[in-house]
């Protein structure tokens, strides 16, 4: 069956987070990495804004070179915790679209949207929505490539950067690849490149003309691989990490709010969604955390660890509300709240083997019954009176 794969990669990720949090940096060259110490610094550039790239600055470059090329850039150290936070928020949005995700790095992932794009009708509309959600909730831009195979999706996202969206449909792959330099293919390193240079082969389309037997003679086993890739054949599937580490839901208010009642209602709703998703995956967690974003983009999390792991909405909501109330101070205005359960000690399935009686108790039956109703009639159909 043909797959529809999306490759998402955030634009100038570390630098974009810094520009988001300090608007005075917007539109300016920003370099993230070691301290340049007036050109004498050691170490390298982690990344830089697109404005700095115009001067030839790039990732992994010695910071002294960057300083020589662009002394007037704003130089900032790497703030790992901050980027991790943004990354977690982005991934949690992605998981709202599909569970079929292969995270590649802090700012990059493959999504297999074959089974999920129908909700927004087309792959393109789905990815547009993903970009919008990231923009709205995390205030950052992403680029997404869509294709039937991973390699082509990745090339497409690279080519449409920044803030791009590019779809290569099944019948368009050869045409799409043909004019690109062969180094775009996975597995073409400097050595392979040299051989092709000597043969006068520069573009993927030219490589695709070479008969398979000749490529195998030149490169052995990897000749077959090059042949396949140049024809857009790539069997690699999106490899989904089955080890779910947390379940969370968030809500962004249409306008920043200071209404405590309204926020409690939202926390209840989010707790119900989290509880339901945990039960769907037969998981229980020990740690409950809430996320709070105030007016502007200052974000806080507060966490609590239960004595026993749980997936009950009563436990989750009660604690979420308590954590929120502890945090709340008069005149605060809230942009977003989120509820997360993590720290899954072991699968619920396992403990149900040993605690059959417990898992058959009334509370669980009630939850299961509510899930059936919600699966049928939607999330809004039933609520607990609390
Ligand atoms: P990339 O996605 O490679 O780069 P980027 O997001 O900064 O820019 P682009 O728009 O081209 O995607 O890497 C993601 C983050 O990883 C990047 O912001 C910083 C970090 N990184 C390093 O620290 N060192 C490196 O050599 C690279 C390549 C990235
Ligand atoms: Mg990136």
Are residues 206 and 256 located together in one domain of the fold? no
Residue 357, pLDDT score: 41
- The size of the chain, in residues, is 386
Q: Are 208 and 231 in contact (CB under 8 A)?
A: yes
CA 115 to chain centre: 18
| Number of domains observed in the structure of the chain | 3
Residue 25, pLDDT score: 98
Ligand nearest the Cα of residue 9 is 2
**Nearest-atom index, ligand 1, CA of 161:** 10
Question: For residue 10, what are the β-bridge partners?
Answer: 142
List ligand 1's pocket residues with C-beta within 6 A: 9-14, 46-47, 59-60, 106-108, 161-162
**Integer Cα distance of 298 and 191 in angstroms:** 48
The residue whose CA has the least distance to atom 5 of ligand 1 is 12
Residue 372, pLDDT score: 57
Are residues 123 and 253 located together in one domain of the fold? no
Q: What is the DSSP string of 167-190?
A: E--GGGHHHHHTTSBGGGSTT--H
Are residues 158 and 218 located together in one domain of the fold? no
Are residues 197 and 309 located together in one domain of the fold? no
Look up the CATH number of the domain holding residue 121.
3.30.70.270
pTM: 0.69
Are residues 95 and 162 located together in one domain of the fold? yes
Tens digit of pLDDT for each residue in 210-246? Answer: 999 999 999 888 899 999 999 999 888 888 765 557 7
20 in a structural domain: yes
The residue whose CA has the least distance to atom 8 of ligand 1 is 12
Residue 174, pLDDT score: 96
Residue 348, pLDDT score: 37
Question: Which tokens belong to 68?
Answer: 């020589």
**Nearest-atom index, ligand 1, CA of 10:** 6
Residue 241, pLDDT score: 61
Q: Give the structural domain span for 8.
A: 1-168
Mean pLDDT value across the chain? 88
Are residues 135 and 187 located together in one domain of the fold? no
By annotation, the residues acting in catalysis are 108
From ligand 2's centre to the CA of 30, what distance in Å? 15
Beta strands across the sheet bearing 165-167:
101-105, 108-112, 5-10, 142-147, 165-167
What is the best residue among 59, 79, 90, 143 to mutate for testing ligand 1's pocket, by most ligand atoms within 8 Å of CB? 59
Q: Which residues of the chain are modeled with pLDDT < 50?
A: 346-360, 380-386
Question: Which tokens belong to 36?
Answer: 């340049």
């Amino acid at each position: 069956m043909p797959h529809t794969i999306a490759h998402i990669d955030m634009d100038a990720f570390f630098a974009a987070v810094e520009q988001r949090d300090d608007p005075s940096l917007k539109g300016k060259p920003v370099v993230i990495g070691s301290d340049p110490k007036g050109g004498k610094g050691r170490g390298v550039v982690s990344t830089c804004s697109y404005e700095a790239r115009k001067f030839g600055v790039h990732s992994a470059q010695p910071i002294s070179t960057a300083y020589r090329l662009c002394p007037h850039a704003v130089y900032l150290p790497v703030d790992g915790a901050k980027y991790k936070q943004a990354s977690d928020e982005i991934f949690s949005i992605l998981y709202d679209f599909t569970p079929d995700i292969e995270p590649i790095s802090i700012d990059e992932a493959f999504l297999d949207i074959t089974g999920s794009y129908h909700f927004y009708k087309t792959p393109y509309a789905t990815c547009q929505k993903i970009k919008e959600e990231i923009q709205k909730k995390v205030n950052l831009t992403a680029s997404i490539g869509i294709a039937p195979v991973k390699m082509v999706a990745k090339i497409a996202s690279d080519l449409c950067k920044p803030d791009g969206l590019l779809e290569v449909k099944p019948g368009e792959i050869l045409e799409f690849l043909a004019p690109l330099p062969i180094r775009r293919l996975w597995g073409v390193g400097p050595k392979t490149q040299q051989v092709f240079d000597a043969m006068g082969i520069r573009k993927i389309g030219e490589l695709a003309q070479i008969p398979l037997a000749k490529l195998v003679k030149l490169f052995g086993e990897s000749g077959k691989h090059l042949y396949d890739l140049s024809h857009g054949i790539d069997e690699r599937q999106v490899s989904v990490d089955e080890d779910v580490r947390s379940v969370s839901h968030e809500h962004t208010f249409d306008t920043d709010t200071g209404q405590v009642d309204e926020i409690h209602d939202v926390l209840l709703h989010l707790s119900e969604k989290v509880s339901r998703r945990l039960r769907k995956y037969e998981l229980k967690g020990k740690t409950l955390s809430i996320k709070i974003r105030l007016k502007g983009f200052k974000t806080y999390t507060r966490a609590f660890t239960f004595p026993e792991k749980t997936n009950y909405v009563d436990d989750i909501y009660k604690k979420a509300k308590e954590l929120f109330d502890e945090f709340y101070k008069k005149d605060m205005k809230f942009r977003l709240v989120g509820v997360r359960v993590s720290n899954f000690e072991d699968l619920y399935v396992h403990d149900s083997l040993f605690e059959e009686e417990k898992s058959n108790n009334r509370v669980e039956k009630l939850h299961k019954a509510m899930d059936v109703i919600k699966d049928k009639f939607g999330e809004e159909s039933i609520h607990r009176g609390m």
